[in-house]
Amino acid sequence: MNFEKTISPLLALPRIPKRLIVLGVDAGLCTLTVWLAYFLRLGEWVPLSEDRVFPAIVSIALALPIFMAFGLYRTIFRFAGATAFLTTTKATLAYGLVYAAWFTALSSPGVPRTVGIIQPILLLLAVGSTRALAAYWLGGAYRHSLNSRRRDNILIYGAGSSGRQLFGAIANSVDMRVVGFLDDDPTLQNRTLNGLTIHSPENLLAIVERLKVNDILLAIPSAPRSRRNAIIEKLRNAQVGVRTLPGLMDLARGDVQASDIRELEIEDLLGRDIVAPDPGRMRQNTWGKVVLVTGAGGSIGSELCRQILNERPKILLLVESSEFALYAIHRSLNRRLADMGGEGELPRLVPLLASVDNRERIGKVMATWRPNTVYHAAAYKHVPIVEHNPIEGIRNNAIGTLVVALAAIAHQVDDFVLISTDKAVRPTNIMGASKRFAEMILQALAARQDGTRFVMVRFGNVLGSSGSVVPLFRQQIRDGGPVTITHEEITRYFMTIPEAAQLVIQAGAMAKGGEVFVLDMGEPVRIMDLARKMIELSGLILRNRENPAGDIEIKYIGLRPGEKLYEELLIGNNPQKTAHPRIMKASEAYSSWEMLAPVIQRMEAAIATGNVEQAREILKHIVPEYDSADGNVDWIDIERQAAAGQDGQSSPASLAS
């Protein structure tokens, strides 16, 4: 203990002083081993003076540069292992060859030839011994320092290669201490791995209590999502935090690092495996072509750009109205481009600031590059925001789609893919109704002409998008709650952003023109159940009437304007299967262009004059399923009516809750 206290200041020294100390020690060892070599050769102790000091000077002059070249002074001694000692041996052998050649093969006056052989052997033993002692003593002091700190006790679920790598990655962590393993394999249970017992998950609660476990780390990256979901369900009642490693493809790029450990995402709880994309369909509308993506900086738009870039288009046009979002996605794609290898010319990226309802700007973009494929992802999608700003929502979502679609026809675009939403089905809000209006515009244009193939792809919430409930819930849990939910029975469909983007590209390749494709989102998720899972898998206890001493409360704040309890993906009930198991085709009615054109003109006039009531009535007329019980909640109209002294209007502050 006293020795560890003595060397603790050494551990705290900066790197350069530590290296200077080691250099001084090695110089001393060079001198000492020369003296010992003389003793072994002559049988008596002799002073290192006159000619006898010369071999010591040569030893220092040779050894230190050679050791530096082999990287001996970059090693952290307290972590030194077999690899470090092998490097030390190689460096000393290289030194020994030069030293022996000098004093044995060539000789030096007054220096016995055998000194040139004996001294390198002694130096190898001396340097190796000092490294071993340093690893033992310094490592012991370091471990004692770690053990004196407050660290979380960790169980690793999975005793396979990933579990072993994870153990090695966090063995010297200042925050975590592994106290055991869990594994479903009966042949591994009750055996030891790295000196720790492999336990059966069936005894989880007793193990957690006995070992005082704080967290469980899932090291099962190759397990199917259904099995991961079953394991996570087992862990919910253990009142410990549950974290996980990345997927198998992430691990393939290198060994597991402690920094790879991440919080559970909702995709870990979906219980549905992703279908691998079809390379042929992914390339059909992208490989070697000019591809344009609107809303390129958004959640779906940016992932579409990443997936398309992987398929090597000739030119990728990034159209975005937000300067910062365009800068961010362009920078991200440029980094990917720098890492792309393979044969052929690399894709060209063109970042373009443009709003989709700007006819002149969109027309110039189309005329300049004449894209082969357009992915129209630009949309205002946050239901409460669009509900309070209806004119801009309709202008961007519906009229913006019309502008881009007409420009695509005029400049002979081959394929046009609209990113739609489940909120377009029997909409109760402006956002959903405006997206259904956009679908109807494309359906009418598809029936009117044969040049551009229009297709709509409809799906629900994507994980990790701006406004997603998962990061909101996680932050609320970190803050100690409450976790806020609009309604106890509210449900939503969820899909990962990469899977959604891949399916959009594949659906576009399957289009013949005019189809509404619907992505299979699996079963809807009850948001209440999601919040409860996230609380329990954070190692906390839900606070409610049955358990008033719990950690986190769930609070219901009421549905927001235009919000639905349940989302749907189909207007009708007759979806058709396609060649892809995750893509269905809907057969839904639409209006002809001749009927739609005058309605569009009236809508554009209402938008130009800012007439919210007229715009809402037109939307209700053209989208008969649109049913909103909230009335007009446009901020500008509310403020004007309040200023005019009208009674019975709610304030913006109350409507925003």
Point out the residues that are catalytic: 423
The conformational region for residue 568 under phi > 0 = left, psi -120 to 50 = alpha, else beta, is beta
The whole-angstrom distance between residue 282's C-alpha and the CA centroid of its chain comes to 22
Q: Tokens at residue 72, please?
A: 């001996």
> Residue 65 burial by CB count (10 A; 0-12/13-18/19+): exposed, middle or buried?
exposed
> What are the CB-based long-range contacts (under 8 Å, 24+) for 605-609?
607/391, 607/394, 607/395, 607/399
Using the 8-state DSSP alphabet, how is residue 155 labeled? E
- Pairwise CA distance, residues 618 & 615, whole Å: 5
**Residues 6+ positions from 314 with CB-CB distance below 8 Å:** 288, 289, 290, 345, 347, 348
Residue type, 549: A
The conformational region for residue 195 under phi > 0 = left, psi -120 to 50 = alpha, else beta, is left
CB 538 within 8 A of CB 241: yes
- Pairwise CA distance, residues 635 & 540, whole Å: 40
Using the 8-state DSSP alphabet, how is residue 318 labeled? E
Nearest to 160 by CA among 195, 184, 190, 179: 184
> Residue 5 burial by CB count (10 A; 0-12/13-18/19+): exposed, middle or buried?
exposed
CB 391 within 8 A of CB 434: no
- Pairwise CA distance, residues 510 & 455, whole Å: 9
- Pairwise CA distance, residues 130 & 88, whole Å: 11
- Pairwise CA distance, residues 48 & 17, whole Å: 29
- Pairwise CA distance, residues 94 & 308, whole Å: 52
- Pairwise CA distance, residues 655 & 657, whole Å: 6
| 415-419 and 373-376 strand pairing | parallel
Residue type, 9: P
Q: Tokens at residue 625, please?
A: 């399923």
- Pairwise CA distance, residues 185 & 454, whole Å: 52
Residue spans of alpha helices (H) in 320-429: 323-339, 359-369, 383-388, 390-394, 400-410
DSSP 34-77: HHHHHHHHHSS-----GGGGHHHHHHHHHHHHHHHHTTGGGS-G
Phi, psi (degrees; rounded to nearest 5) at 212: 55, 55
